[in-house]
Amino acid sequence: MPREITAYSNPLVKRVRDLRDKRHRREARQFLAEGLRILTEARETGRLPRLLFFARPSAQHPLVRDLVAAVEQNGGEAIETTPDILSKLSGKDNPQAVVGVFDEFGTTLDALDRTSAGIWLVAERLRDPGNLGTILRTGDAVGAGGLILIGECVDPFSVEAVRASMGALFTMPVVQTGWGDFLNWLRQGPGQLVGLSLDTDHDYRGVRYAAPTFLLTGNEAQGMPAEYAAACDTLVKIPMLGKADSLNAAVATAVMAYEVLAQQRG
């Protein structure tokens, strides 16, 4: 049976709240995910939280009951609490019905099967958690094989990134690595590296994309370094017909991913 916590001073509440901070996440190797939809999708991929907090008013929702049962059967703990404490845990004034504490997970380049998908997403020094989450959602939508994060990217397990991914963090393999290791791995097998750049005359719809295509998106403010661009098999740009000189990094990635998908579907 779930235990009940209603006091802000409970040490477990403080420990879980601290997971909103990157240093505490790294020390605990755990992260927060919130929302019935996200936690249900995580469960469907086989991932269950170690701790599940749910608000008393939602206790009778069938999906909440299913989550509670699954967490307890898996050896985790379900905790009934108040909406105010859920708000304290998530940092939102209007909290979701459930908050879960998950063990961090990830994979390595060597564990990826590049032939399993026609599209792979690569992001370099991505700084905005909303962009990272949106790119994960795009990858899930186009059936990408995974997301490869190059260099000092924003933490994919931050509350904001997990929230923006809408559950795609649990469906998309994520690798965090360096540029040299990525390039060495890429050149050991098939793979077309396509960089999004403003410094090219190649229109994104004028290039043929061979599977597997690795789409490289640079840092939001600075773009990709010159040596990264030089290592690409081709650079492409999305035409800008208005006053803006570029698209948001996540939007540009989505436009490119769907063009690659359209070509590869014939």
Residues 241, 117, single domain; the answer is yes
pLDDT of residue 98: 92
Average pLDDT of the chain to the nearest whole number:
93
Cα dist from 136 to 61, 146, 147, whole Å: 28, 8, 7
pTM: 0.92
For residue 35, the enclosing domain spans 3-103
Residues 36, 51, single domain; the answer is yes
Residues 167, 181, single domain; the answer is yes
Residues 124, 218, single domain; the answer is yes
Residue 88 CB contacts under 8 Å (≥ 6 apart), including other chains? 8, 13, 17
Residue 129 CB contacts under 8 Å (≥ 6 apart), including other chains? 154, 155, 158, 160, 161, 164
Classify strands 77-81 and 51-55 as parallel, antiparallel or unpaired.
Answer: parallel
* Interval 9-31 mean pLDDT: 94
Domain stop point among 72, 103, 134: 103
Residues 152, 89, single domain; the answer is no
List the structure tokens of 2: 């779930």
Q: Is the pLDDT of residue 247 over 90?
A: no
Structural domain count of the chain: 2
Cis peptide bond upstream of 11, omega within 30 = no
Confidence of residue 254 (pLDDT cuts 50, 70, 90): very high
pLDDT of residue 33: 95
- With vertex at residue 56, the alpha carbon angle to CA 168 and CA 41, rounded to the nearest 5 degrees, is 15
Q: Is the pLDDT of residue 96 over 80?
A: no
Residues 15, 92, single domain; the answer is yes
CA distance 182 to 77: 38
Domain stop point among 68, 103, 138: 103
pLDDT, tens digit (0-9, with 9 covering 90-100), for 135-147 = 999 999 999 999 9
Identify the CA nearest to 55 among candidates 5, 12, 102: 5
Give the CATH number, domain containing residue 115: 3.40.1280.10
Give the CATH number, domain containing residue 76: 3.30.1330.30
pLDDT of residue 1: 63
Domain stop point among 54, 87, 103: 103
Q: Identify the residue with better confidence: 221 or 172.
A: 172
